[in-house]
Amino acid sequence: MFVARIAALAAAALCAASVADAKTLRWASQGDALTLDPHAQNEGPTSGMNAHVYEPLISRDPSLSKVPALALSWKAIAPDTWEFKLRPDVKFSDGTPFTADDVVFSYNRALAPTSDFRAYISSIKEVKAIDPLTVHIITNGPNPILPDYASSILIMSKAWAEKHNVTKPQSFKDKEETYAVRNAMGTGAFTVKQRDPDVKTVMAKNPTYWGAKDFPASPDELVYTPIKEPATRVAALISGQVDFVLDAPLQDIARIKQTPGLKTEETAQVRSIFLGLDMGAAELKYSDVKGKNPFADKRVRQAMYQAIDIDAIKAKVMRNFAAPAGLVTSPGVHGYTKDLDKRLKFDVASAKKLMADAGYPNGFSVVLDCPNDRYNNDEQICQAVTGMLAQIGIKVDLQARSKTLHFPKIQKKDSSFFLLGWGVPTLDSHYVFTYLYQTNDAAKKVGGYNLTNYSNAKMDELTDCILKEVDQAKRDKMIADAWKLAIEDMPYLPLHHQLIVWSMSDKVTIPIFANDSPNFKYSKMK
C-alpha cells in the first residue's frame, strides 16, 4: 500500500511537472481569420491561421523558399505534367492515413466555384492518383510555376470532408455556415481545440505530427485573441497578457522597443496597398454622377493619383514604415523592377487641370470602402486620401468597416472605390495579373479579385502566355510588357509597400516571415 502510494505521488508530481513545463504562446492581432475552411478565402491572416492545421504539398520556410511538406519531391515529367511524390507514413490528426486520394480531392475542391483559390490552379486539367504516394497534375499546356502555386493549396481529408458534408468550399461572400467554418482537421503541427470567431482560437500541438522531431521546441498551445483597439493590443503586450502582437500600432513601436522585456522584428513585407476604382461600369453605383462613369476617363484616375501626397502618408500615417509604390507589387516578387516602381509626381495643380479637362472642374462625390482592421493603419490611410482628394473637388464619403464585412462587399462588386492590399504567395507577377488584371471570367477561373471591371485583351493574352512560357528570357519580357500596360491603363492607384513589425516578449524567439504570416512551429519560448 505504501509503495503504491509513493508511486501515485510520483506520478502526480510528474504530471504536475509536465503541466508546468507546457508552454503556451498567447498572441493577438487586430482582425481574426475569416474562416477555417482552407479554400474559402484567399486572405493572408486566414491562410496563415489555417496553415497551422492544414498543409500544402510544398511549404515556405522563413526565407520563403520552397521546402518539402506533404510532397517529398516534385518534377515535370512532361511539358504538361508535374509529378509529386508524397511523404509516407503521414496521418491526419484523427489517425487516418494521408494518401494521394486526399490530394486529388483537395485540388478538385479548390477548383470549385465557391473556392477563392481557383485562380491559383486555373491551368489544371486533371489531378490523378497514380498510386497511394504519387500524384500527377496535368495542366492545359506547360506551367513552369505550378509548384509556386502548390505552396498555397492546403490539403484536407477526403473522408473527414465527406463525413461532415463539406466537400465544397464555403461560399464566404454569401455568409454560408458549414462545419468547416469553425472546425478543422489536417496533418499540420497544431489542432483546433476551441474556435470562437472574433473572440478566441485555441490550438494544441498535434501529437501525431510527422514533423514533430524537426520542431521539438515549438509551443504546446497557441491562444489567439483578436484585439481591434490599437491601444489595447499594446497594453496587453506590455502587461504580459499576450506574448506576441502581429501588428502593434506603428506609433507605438518606439515605445515597445524601449520597454524592458519586449523586442521587435522588422522586414519589408511582400504586400502592396492600393486603391481600386470601378472603371468599367457604365455608371458608378455610389456617386452623384449619373449616366456616365468618371472613373472610365483616365484623366480622372490620373488626377486622383497625382492628388495623393504619398510622402505625407508615409511620414504622418505610416511613421515611415512604408515604401511609396508605383506598382501594386513589391520587391521580392519575380518581375518587379525599381524602374517600373516609380510614382507619378504629386502635383495638385496638374490634377485640377486633368479634372477640368475631363469635364469635372467642380469634382463629384463618391463612396470609398475601407477596412479598419486588416492592414497597417488602413482607416487612417483612407482618411488621409479623403482629405487629399477634396483638394481637387472629389468629395469622398468614407465608409470604414471590419474586414469581415469589407471583403464580402467588394467581392460582390458592391463598391465603386475601395482600398485593398495584395500579397503574392507565389512570389511571381503572374499571380498579380491573373487575380487583379485579367478580365473577370468565372469559367476560366481568372480575374477573381479584378473588382474594377477593367478589361484589356492584350493583358489577358499576356497573362495567359506568362503562365505557359518556359523560356525565362521570353517570360520576363512578357512580364515587363504586362506591367507597362498595367501602369498605362491605371485601374489601380498604388500607394505603398508595407513594412512590418512584429512585437513580442523577449521570451519568444521566432523568425519573421516577409508574408506577415507567423508560423509558430518555428517559434520557441523560454
What's the CA dihedral at 158, 198, 170, 272 to 10 degrees?
A: -100
What's the CA dihedral at 45, 51, 57, 61 to 10 degrees?
A: 80
The H or E element containing residue 407 is helix 403-411
pLDDT of residue 1: 36
Mean pLDDT, residues 89-110 taken together: 98
Full DSSP string of 303-326: HHHHH--HHHIIIIISTT-EEE-S
* DSSP strand pairing (24-29 vs 221-226): parallel
Alpha helices in 86-137 (DSSP H): 100-110
Q: How long a stretch of residues is the chain?
A: 526
pLDDT of residue 286: 98
Regarding whether 273 and 169 lie in a shared domain, the answer is: no
- State the CATH number of the domain containing residue 207: 3.40.190.10
In a domain, 264, yes or no: no
C-alpha to C-alpha distance for 219 and 508, rounded to whole angstroms: 10
Regarding whether 444 and 308 lie in a shared domain, the answer is: yes
**Cβ contact 92:185 at 8 Å:** yes
Regarding whether 278 and 157 lie in a shared domain, the answer is: no
Regarding whether 198 and 275 lie in a shared domain, the answer is: no
Buried b (16+ CB within 10 A) or exposed e, 453-486: bbbbeebbebbbbbbbbeeeeebbebbeebbeeb
In a domain, 452, yes or no: yes
C-alpha to C-alpha distance for 307 and 350, rounded to whole angstroms: 9
In this structure, how many other beta carbons lie within 10 angstroms of the beta carbon of residue 369?
Answer: 23
Regarding whether 95 and 128 lie in a shared domain, the answer is: yes
Whether residue 207 has pLDDT greater than 50: yes
C-alpha to C-alpha distance for 295 and 277, rounded to whole angstroms: 7
In a domain, 352, yes or no: yes
In a domain, 159, yes or no: yes
How far lies 490's CA from each of 276, 305, 316, 423, 479, in Å? 9, 9, 26, 19, 16
SS3 17: helix
Band (pLDDT 50/70/90 cuts) for residue 21 is low
In this structure, how many other beta carbons lie within 10 angstroms of the beta carbon of residue 451?
Answer: 23
Three-point CA angle 166, 167, 173, nearest 5°: 65
C-alpha to C-alpha distance for 183 and 164, rounded to whole angstroms: 10
Rg of the chain (C-alpha set): 24
In a domain, 242, yes or no: no
In this structure, how many other beta carbons lie within 10 angstroms of the beta carbon of residue 73?
Answer: 11
C-alpha to C-alpha distance for 211 and 205, rounded to whole angstroms: 11
Its domain, for residue 518, covers: 24-222+506-525
Residues whose CB is less than 8 angstroms from the CB of residue 460 and which lie 6 or more positions away in sequence, other chains included? 438, 439, 446
Regarding whether 132 and 41 lie in a shared domain, the answer is: yes
Regarding whether 277 and 217 lie in a shared domain, the answer is: no
C-alpha to C-alpha distance for 292 and 283, rounded to whole angstroms: 5
Q: How far apart are the first and last CA of the chain?
A: 40
In a domain, 144, yes or no: yes
Whether residue 443 has pLDDT greater than 80: yes
Regarding whether 516 and 459 lie in a shared domain, the answer is: no
Whether residue 12 has pLDDT greater than 50: no
Regarding whether 335 and 210 lie in a shared domain, the answer is: no
Pull the grid cell for residue 113. Answer: 466555384
The H or E element containing residue 381 is helix 378-390
Number of independent structural domains in the chain: 2
Regarding whether 491 and 513 lie in a shared domain, the answer is: no
Regarding whether 281 and 347 lie in a shared domain, the answer is: yes
C-alpha to C-alpha distance for 203 and 206, rounded to whole angstroms: 9
Q: Could you tell me the pTM of the whole model?
A: 0.91
C-alpha to C-alpha distance for 295 and 304, rounded to whole angstroms: 10
Pull the grid cell for residue 45. Answer: 491572416
Residue labelled with grid coordinates 491559383? 120
The proportion of the chain whose per-residue pLDDT surpasses 90, expressed as a percent, equals 94
Mean pLDDT, residues 366-385 taken together: 97
Whether residue 15 has pLDDT greater than 90: no
In a domain, 9, yes or no: no
pLDDT in tens, 400-437: 999 999 999 999 999 999 999 999 999 999 999 999 99
pLDDT of residue 162: 98
pLDDT in tens, 72-85: 999 999 999 999 99
Q: What is the DSSP letter of 395?
A: E
In a domain, 258, yes or no: no
Pull the grid cell for residue 238. Answer: 506590455
Mean pLDDT, residues 325-354 taken together: 97
**Cβ contact 248:234 at 8 Å:** yes
Q: Give me the half-sphere count of Cα atoms (radius 13 Å) on the Cβ side of residue 365.
A: 5
pLDDT of residue 381: 98
Regarding whether 279 and 169 lie in a shared domain, the answer is: no
SS3 27: strand
Pull the grid cell for residue 294. Answer: 468618371
500 φ, ψ (degrees, to nearest 5): -115, 150
- State the CATH number of the domain containing residue 467: 3.10.105.10
Q: Please state, rounded to an integer, the average pLDDT across all residues of the chain.
A: 94
